[in-house]
Amino acid sequence: MADFGLLVEVRSGFCTQLAGHRPGPIFVDVRAPGMGTAALLTSSVLALVYRRAATGRGGWAETSLYDGMLATLGCMIGRSERAAPHIEGYWEKGSTFPNFLYRCADGELLQVWFGGKGMYAKLISVLGDEPSTEGYYSDQTTGKLGERARHWGSFFVTRPRAQWITLLREVGVACEPVLGPGEILADPHLAETGLAVRCSDGPHEDVVVGSPISVSPISSSATAAAYSATPSPAARPGEPVAEDAKPATVRENRGLLSGLRVVDFSAFVAGPLAAEVLADLGADVIKVEPPAGEAMRAAAYAVAACQRGKRSVALDISAPQARPVVERLLSQADVVLHNFRVGVAERLGIDAATVARLNPRAVYCHASAFGSTGPRAKFPGNDALMEAVTGTERAIGGDGNDPIAATWIPIDITGGWLAAAGMLAGLYARGAGDEGQQVATSLLGAGILLHSGAFLRDGELVTGPTLDGAQTGYGPGYRIYRGSDGNWFALVVPSPEAWLRLRDLPGAAPLAQTYAPLRGGPADAAARAAEAVLEAAFAAAPAAAWVDRLQPLGLLAELIAPLDRDGFRRGILDDPVNRQLGRVTAYQTADWGQFEQIGPLLRSGPDAGAGPRLMLPGIGEHTNQVLSELGFSAAEITALLDAKLAAQLAH
Is 60 exceeded by the pLDDT of residue 642? yes
Chain-wide mean pLDDT for the chain? 93
Q: Is omega for the bond preceding 606 within 30 degrees of 0, making it cis?
A: yes
Q: What share of the chain is helix, strand, coil (3-state, %, to 5)?
A: 40, 15, 45
**Residue 406 pLDDT class (50, 70, 90 cuts):** very high
Is 90 exceeded by the pLDDT of residue 374? yes
> What are the tens digits of pLDDT across the range 61-98?
999 999 999 999 999 999 999 999 989 999 999 988 89
Q: Is the dihedral of CA 354, 360, 361, 366 positive or negative?
A: positive
Q: What is the dihedral of CA 421, 422, 423, 428, to 10 degrees?
A: 90
Residue 1 pLDDT: 57
- Cα–Cα distances (Å) from 160 to 102, 164, 391, 397, 561, in that order, read 11, 7, 20, 22, 43
**Residue 464 pLDDT class (50, 70, 90 cuts):** confident
pTM: 0.94
Residue range 407-436: average pLDDT? 95
Catalytic residue among 412, 468, 548, 642: 412
**Residue 432 pLDDT class (50, 70, 90 cuts):** confident
Is 50 exceeded by the pLDDT of residue 147? yes
> What are the tens digits of pLDDT across the range 277-304?
999 999 999 999 999 999 899 889 999 9
Residue 230 pLDDT: 33
Question: What is the share, in percent, of the chain residues with pLDDT greater than 90?
Answer: 88
Residue range 98-127: average pLDDT? 94
Residue 260 pLDDT: 97
**In order of start, what are the domains of the chain with their CATH numbers?**
5-81+463-565 (3.30.1540.10), 115-172 (no CATH)
Residue 244 pLDDT: 34
Q: Is 642 a catalytic residue?
A: no
Residue range 475-500: average pLDDT? 98
H helical segments located in 13-64: 32-55
Cα separation, 368 vs 4, whole angstroms: 32
Helix axes 32-55, 410-433, angle to 10 degrees: 20
Q: Which of 150-164, 462-476, 536-550, 602-616 has the lowest mean pLDDT?
A: 602-616
- Cα–Cα distances (Å) from 374 to 151, 270, 327, 415, in that order, read 35, 21, 30, 19
Q: What is the dihedral of CA 234, 240, 246, 252, to 10 degrees?
A: 170
> Is residue 70 exposed (0-12), middle (13-18) or buried (19+ Cβ within 10 Å)?
buried
Residue 521 pLDDT: 87
> What are the tens digits of pLDDT across the range 566-578?
999 999 999 999 9
> What are the tens digits of pLDDT across the range 591-603?
999 999 999 999 9
- Coil vs helix vs strand at 612: coil
Residue 254 pLDDT: 84
Cα separation, 556 vs 2, whole angstroms: 7
8 Å CB contact between 473 and 27: yes
Residue 651 pLDDT: 72
**Residue 447 pLDDT class (50, 70, 90 cuts):** very high
Is 90 exceeded by the pLDDT of residue 29? yes
Residue range 323-336: average pLDDT? 98
Residue range 620-625: average pLDDT? 98
Residue 227 pLDDT: 32
Residue range 525-543: average pLDDT? 98
User: Residue 22: what residue type?
Assistant: R
> What are the tens digits of pLDDT across the range 197-250?
999 999 999 999 999 999 999 974 333 333 333 333 333 333 333 333 334 344
